[in-house]
Amino acid sequence: MKLTDSVLRSFRVAKVFRENSDKINCFDFSPNGETVISSSDDDSIVLYDCQEGKPKRTLYSKKYGVDLIRYTHAANTVVYSSNKIDDTIRYLSLHDNKYIRYFPGHSKRVVALSMSPVDDTFISGSLDKTIRLWDLRSPNCQGLMHLQGKPVCSFDPEGLIFAAGVNSEMVKLYDLRSFDK
């Protein structure tokens, strides 16, 4: 289907969910498209079943809060940034609601989070003016880039290039294979 202006205007709301009592921060679809997950200022993580059109499960991060959230390649795990105690990124198993790993390093709020489409790496951007490269298998930062302002970042569909924007003024493309240069 080609998304034209008239097609978009014909769209109607199919389902309304009201599981959250506060602002929703982020959505992400699972890699297989069967579920979508939301994070909210009410410290909740809500998992929705896309095929049945209903909430599947609600988890809470009362201690740390939850801001940005992204599925990993496994449909039952996510990484998310906190909006309370610290700026650590957390790797969570949705199956048993247990943390798999913590990714400390940012000293201010994480404002960008992107999972590689091909492997277990992800990037994060923070108000501490850094972009960090991570691997889900290690709590240590794999790469660090210091910037002049607030970053945004995202992987390309092949996972070889990532884009970094600084202060909404410019976009720079980086080859992941030479990130350390």
* pLDDT score, position 179: 65
| Average of per-residue pLDDT across 48-77 | 89
Pair 145, 161 in one domain? yes
| Average of per-residue pLDDT across 36-47 | 92
- Whether residue 13 lies inside any domain: the answer is no
Tell me which amino acid residue 19 is.
Answer: E
Query: Rounded CA gap, 115 and 155, in Å?
Result: 7
- Whether residue 63 lies inside any domain: the answer is yes
* pLDDT score, position 70: 95
* Domain final position from 104, 129, 150: 104
Pair 33, 97 in one domain? yes
Count of structural domains, the chain: 2
Question: Are the beta carbons of 20 and 44 closer than 8 angstroms?
Answer: yes
Pair 71, 115 in one domain? no
Pair 161, 113 in one domain? yes
* Angle at the Cα of 60 from the Cα atoms of 58 and 61, rounded to 5 degrees: 150
| Average of per-residue pLDDT across 16-27 | 82
Pair 72, 113 in one domain? no
* pLDDT score, position 181: 61
Between residues 168 and 42, the one the model is more confident about: 42
Q: How confident is the model at residue 11 (pLDDT cuts 50, 70, 90)?
A: confident
**pLDDT tens-digit profile of 134-176?**
999 999 999 888 888 889 999 999 989 999 888 777 788 888 8
**Residues near 28 by beta carbon (within 8 Å), at least 6 away in sequence:** 36, 37, 69, 70, 71, 78
**pLDDT tens-digit profile of 68-121?**
999 998 879 999 998 888 899 999 999 999 999 999 999 999 999 999 999 999
Is 16 a residue whose pLDDT tops 90? no
Please tell me the pTM assigned to this model: 0.86
- Whether residue 11 lies inside any domain: the answer is no
Task: Please say whether the dihedral angle defined by the alpha carbons of residues 112, 117, 119 and 120, taken in this order, is positive or negative.
Answer: positive
CATH number (domain holding residue 57): 2.40.10.480
* Domain final position from 83, 104, 125: 104
- Residue 92 lies in domain: 21-104
Pair 88, 113 in one domain? no
* pLDDT score, position 98: 94
